[in-house]
Amino acid sequence: MTIFALSSGQGISGISVIRISGPETKTVISKLTNGNFPEPRVATLKKINKINTNELIDEGILLWFPGPNSYTGEDMAEFHVHGSVSVVLAIQNSISKIENCRIAEPGEFTKIAFQNGKINLLKAESISDLIRSETEMQRQQAIKIMSGKNSEIYNFWRSSLLKILANVEAKIDFPDEDLPEKIINEIHLSSSKIKSEIKKVLNDKKVGEIIREGFKIAILGPPNAGKSSLLNYLSRRDAAIVSEVAGTTRDVIEVHLNIDGYPVVLSDTAGIRESKDEIEKKGINLALKKAENADLNIVVIEPKKAYFTGFLKGLVSSEKTLVVVNKSDLGIENMLEDFSQYNPIYISIIKEKNIDTLISTIRNKLKNKFLSNQNILITRERHRLHLEQCLTHLENFENKRDEQDFDKAAEDLRLAARELGKIVGKFDVEEILGSIFNDFCIGK
């Protein structure tokens, strides 16, 4: 099957790139262009016609990459045309009329590259991360994995385990020959060394995942305290409706921010109160869920209602909560409760007072959260699960010290090595392929 897709962004742009990969690539080129077939990897200016006619669609650059020296390993081509919706549609329409040509699924080019051994799974994932990266930190993390740093370490652990396995298997194959004491000691030493290295990587406060997904901050509090005003102020746009009506926000409103290079996902939520309104109740439930999953909760209240009840009372005693008293312009002298225990930050969004203190407090929390002295960072839950599984198998292995258990111990090692292989894509990959490539964009 030959696949094609718009690989550059949707909509109007200077240039659009349509990519083709598969055995019919040559046919596509011959049917859409006239004249000499282009030289491999040489940008060639071509008139691009509607299929089987001389009706011109556009003029553009054609690149021809014969396989296997291409991104996917198959024959590939790229049409660089004017970035117009109608030009792209006309070209795609013409290609789709050729037999065995169809539009690509999300991530399909990269999936083929992986299947043809051009890249490993970690690299495929990091390509997706790089495309999605919004901040410098996310870009650096993706490029580090893309260049193979993590793969090297996982592969090294895996090959060390396979070496141990070879020794254990030797014992099974030649049971009469005693393994020298030295080798048995080495086996245990090297397996426990790998175990402690994996443990160290797992004990990472999820920094890699937070970099990839963004540090999640939820704004919560009673209605009308100024939560939406705060979201708008921090994101420098009117993302949420602000009004003096209590209960304005119902849905969760999410904005992506870049604070000093740190990726942040900021959520504004419905004001929390007892409500009989079905829609408002749903909004409040969403707010509670956001609070649970957030890395930091900012609880906003106003001076005239400066007390916490119910859910908020529990939330403010949590370590991941920052208490903010907004509307300080209305006076904080008459606040009912002594708030010093919460270490609140007093701000006024309308008068733009003290918000810099709030921002620098958030900044410090971010700095601490993103601090890591790890050599490699886990960027996805998938990797974490495989590493945890690997540890379990290694522990099982270490618990089998008797000679008669050697064949079972060998199986534990095999399973442990397989878990590491799954991260890089060396074993049983079919079932995990779908879940990885599905969240790519089309054309990559």
Ligand X SMILES: Nc1nc2c(ncn2[C@@H]2O[C@H](COP(=O)(O)OP(=O)(O)OP(=O)(O)O)[C@@H](O)[C@H]2O)c(=O)[nH]1
State the minimum distance, in angstroms, from the CB of residue 292 to ligand X.
Answer: 19
Residue from 28, 291, 349, 409 touching ligand X (CB under 6 A): that is 349
Q: Which stretch binds ligand X (CB under 6 A): 90-98, 108-116, 326-334, 424-432?
A: 326-334
Stretch that binds Mg ion, among 145-153, 223-231, 367-375, 380-388 (CB under 5 A): 223-231
249 vs 297, beta carbon nearer ligand X: 249
Binding status of residue 25 toward ligand X by CB under 6 A: no
Question: By C-beta, is 19 or 227 nearer to Mg ion?
Answer: 227
Residue whose token pair is 């799974």: 121
Half-sphere exposure in the Cβ direction for 404 (13 Å, CA): 0
What are the distances in angstroms from CA 398 to CA 140, 177, 187, 189, 393?
Answer: 37, 22, 10, 10, 9
Q: Which of 107, 214, 226, 263 binds ligand X (CB under 6 A)?
A: 226
Binding flag, residue 260, ligand X (CB under 6 A)? no
Q: How far is CA 230 from the centre of its chain?
A: 27
Which residue from 220, 345, 230, 381 is spatially nearest to 285, judged by alpha carbons? 220
Among 249, 326, 328, 379, binds Mg ion (CB under 5 A): 249
Q: Residue 127 or residue 347: which is nearer to ligand X going by CB? A: 347
> Which range binds Mg ion by CB under 5 A, 7-15, 242-250, 289-297, 337-345?
242-250
Write down the least CB distance from residue 79 to Mg ion, Å. 47
The count of chain residues that interact with Mg ion, using the rule CB under 5 A, is 4
Give Cα separations from 108 to 223, 239, 315, 439, 443 (angstroms).
46, 34, 44, 11, 7
Contact map string, positions 236 to 255, toward ligand X, x by CB under 6 A? ------xxx-xxxx------
Residue 246 contacts which entry, Mg ion, ligand X, none (Cβ below 5-8 A, type-dependent): ligand X
Instruction: In whole angstroms, give the CA distance from residue 240 to residue 285.
Output: 18
Residue 228 contacts Mg ion per CB under 5 A: yes
**CA 404 and chain centroid, separation:** 45
Is residue 181 exposed (0-12), middle (13-18) or buried (19+ Cβ within 10 Å)?
exposed
Burial environment of residue 84 by CB neighbours within 10 A (0 to 12, 13 to 18, 19 or more): middle
Query: Rounded to the nearest whole angstrom, what is the least distance from the CB of residue 332 to ligand X in the complex?
Result: 12
Residue 235 contacts ligand X per CB under 6 A: no
CB 32 within 8 A of CB 94: yes
The residue type of 183 is I
Each residue 404-423 as x (binds Mg ion by CB under 5 A) or -, in order, gives --------------------
- Name the one range near Mg ion by CB under 5 A: 171-179, 220-228, 280-288, 290-298: 220-228
Cα dihedral 389, 395, 399, 402, rounded to 10, equals 70
Q: Which does 225 bind (CB under 5 to 8 A by kind): ligand X, Mg ion, none?
A: ligand X
**Of 38 and 283, which has the nearer Cβ to ligand X?**
283
- Total residue count of the chain as it appears in this document: 444
- Rounded to 10 deg, the angle between the 149-173 and 181-202 helix axes is 150
Residue 403 is classified by DSSP as G
Site string for ligand X, 350-389 (x = CB under 6 A): x---------------------------------------
The answer to whether 223 contacts ligand X (rule: CB under 6 A) is yes
The CA distance from 155 to 423, in Å, is: 9
Contacted entry of ligand X, Mg ion, none for residue 326, CB cut-off 5 to 8 Å set by kind: ligand X
Q: Can you give the binding site for Mg ion, defined by CB under 5 A?
A: 227-228, 248-249
